[in-house]
Amino acid sequence: MNANKRINSDRDPVNRDLDANPNVDRAPDSDTNPDPITGEHGARPVGTGIGAAGAGTIGTAVGVAVGGPIGGAVGAVIGSVAGGLLGKGVSETLDPTVEDEYWRHSYATRPYVDPDHSYEDYSPAYRTGYEGYSTYAKDGLTYQDAEPHLRTRYEREYGSSRLGWDKARPASQDAWHRLEHDSAANDTDIK
């Protein structure tokens, strides 16, 4: 069955006949960020584009220096393809859709969560943690090393939030450690 179709008859008895019909197209789930060509979950057009542009420029320069105008054209193509793949790979190290979904369903089980606050209150703190991990861990920073940067970012971007940094900090740290743990597990699996 096409990913753009879904059967939802248990939850939508009014449209049961339409949902059971495999010929009825459904809008794709907006949270999956589908690749426009393959339809796979998790397209990363910005990372791919930045990688392609940067490496394409370098490939052109090297190609012109080594092989003249034809070398420049070949270098641009090869550099763009390689850079696009590298850029996509780098941007896939973090899937904000997956992280947001995980925390949306798990936040209430965390010991630091105040029942008077909703997920929407904690969401900026989680985002600060998982995006911070993606930014700073690759440079070898621990959460404690990166915390001053994370705090500055949180207060700048979410200063009007219902949670001040003191209450947001545990959620931010939790999101960082989740990715850190996943990364360590993946490193072990690869070896």
Question: Which range, of 4-13, 88-97, 160-169, averages the lowest pLDDT?
Answer: 4-13
Q: What is the pLDDT of residues 30-67, one digit of tens each?
A: 445 565 555 655 555 555 555 555 555 665 666 667 77
Q: What is the pLDDT of residue 158?
A: 94
Q: What is the pLDDT of residue 31?
A: 46
CA distance 62 to 54: 13
Q: What is the pLDDT of residue 45?
A: 59
CB 104 within 8 A of CB 119: yes
Q: What is the pLDDT of residue 2?
A: 40
- C-alpha gyration radius of the chain: 22
CB 141 within 8 A of CB 170: no
The residue type found at 26 is R
Q: What is the pLDDT of residues 85-111, one digit of tens each?
A: 555 444 446 789 999 999 999 999 999
Stronger pLDDT, 32 or 11, i.e. the higher one? 32
Q: What is the pLDDT of residue 60?
A: 64
Instruction: Give the CA distances from residue 126 to residues 79, 108, 161, in Å, rounded to whole numbers and listed in that order.
Output: 36, 13, 13
SS3 at position 164: coil
- For 119, half-sphere exposure in the C-beta direction (CA atoms, 13 angstrom radius) is 11
Location of structure tokens 């006949």: 17
Which DSSP category does 46 fall into? H
Residue 140, C-beta contacts closer than 8 angstroms, at least 6 positions apart = none
Q: For the whole model, what pTM was predicted?
A: 0.54
